[in-house]
Amino acid sequence: MWISLSAGQTTGMGVPAIIGEWVRERVMKPISRHMARVAGVTVGATLLLSAGLASAASFEVGEKVFVPMFEPNPELDGYAEGFVEQVHDDGTLTLRINKVQTGKGKTLSGTCHPSGGTALSGAEIVSDDPDDLVVEQRLLTDEVMTYRRGSQLYLKRENLSIAYLKYLGSGMGMTPDRFDVAIRRAEEVGLPRMVAAMEIGKMQVESTQGRGFPVPASRALQKAAPMLDDVAAKLEGYPESVETAARMLGGTTPEHRDDPLAAVIVRLHEILDKQLGELAQQSDDPREVSGFSVDQLLAIYTGWFRVITVNDTQPFQNADVDYYRERAAKALNDGEWPALK
């Protein structure tokens, strides 16, 4: 039985409506969004080109292939697996696809071998069994990779996303050496924002002097001010990511990880806020905190304000660094803990 999917409608004799709904909800919506982005801004092609992987390969009928559906944040990567059914003279391939990973439901341990098949948008369903879907799709040759090459690239990106997610979580065990590995992987697959995100994570971890393991806030914040100045300088090349993070911190945009660098900036704020909160537990009056003068605390606050304003080149909530520094200085001198935002 052959079924054609068009404009979200499922037709075909004897096909239960629930299957069409399952396909639309589980497959067509997420993949249609991905394909729309590719069509509009050629995201997938850009990512492959930046990694030096966009050159078309030669394929044979019956060959197992890999269809990458990569995102700027590899945590959200998807892919499809299948076999070449026809090779056409116009540079396209007809594939019979039996496995699709849409990028949802990923965990820290990864999804290298997802089970169950789903369908690509606009594909023809060969089998209507929701537990074992088989679909056909015609794609350009340069949108397809050999299975070995594609699966190895996906695994490399998956390992990168595991390090990234670990830092966004507890961060436990994310040593400078592990950051170096993640940075190298991000460079190899052509993800500059992920490179910057991991470099900033490394800066933060090194500044705590704990080598990726918990230390008291009184120690972790000793070198925070110069670290934040370095982060602000790094972010001068990524104002859009800072703007995205600022919207999330300001509550005008829900938190998300579509931009990995923006997510790391938000995480940096969470870490600093927690560490300053630990100091506040030692004393309600910041002037009496052991190991920190008012000027040292003010330098930490000012460093963060430089981060979230890209070194005072774009306002945060319609205010510049001077405004936030003066507000923080007044609070500290009055014996009160300032807000970090």
Q: 142 CB contacts (<8 Å, ≥6 apart)?
A: 45, 54, 55, 56, 91
Q: What is the pTM of this model?
A: 0.76
The answer on pLDDT for 55 being more than 90 is: no
Res 330: pLDDT = 98
Strand-pairing partners, residue 79, are 68, 101
Confidence of residue 132 (pLDDT cuts 50, 70, 90): low
Residue 149 CB neighbour total at 10 angstroms: 14
Q: Is the separation of the CB atoms in 261 and 248 below 8 Å?
A: no
**pLDDT band, residue 210 (cuts 50/70/90):** confident
Distance CA 79, CA 102 (A): 7
Hey, which of 12-26, 84-98, 325-339 has the most confident mean pLDDT? Answer: 325-339
**Predicted local distance difference test score (pLDDT) of residue 271:** 96
pLDDT of residue 56: 54
Would you kindly state where each structural domain of the chain is located, as residue ranges? Answer: 3-155, 169-333
List, for residues 77-129, the tens digit of each pLDDT value. 999 999 999 999 998 999 999 888 877 544 333 333 333 333 344 444 455 55
Encode pLDDT of 135-167 as tens digits.
Answer: 788 999 999 999 999 999 999 999 999 999 999
Q: What's the CA gap between 174 and 136, in Å, rounded? A: 43
Q: What is the mean pLDDT of the chain?
A: 81
Q: What are the C-alpha distances in Å from 173 to residues 72, 177, 217, 284? A: 25, 10, 17, 32
pLDDT, tens only, 278-302: 999 999 999 999 999 999 999 999 9
Q: Residue 118: its pLDDT value, please?
A: 30
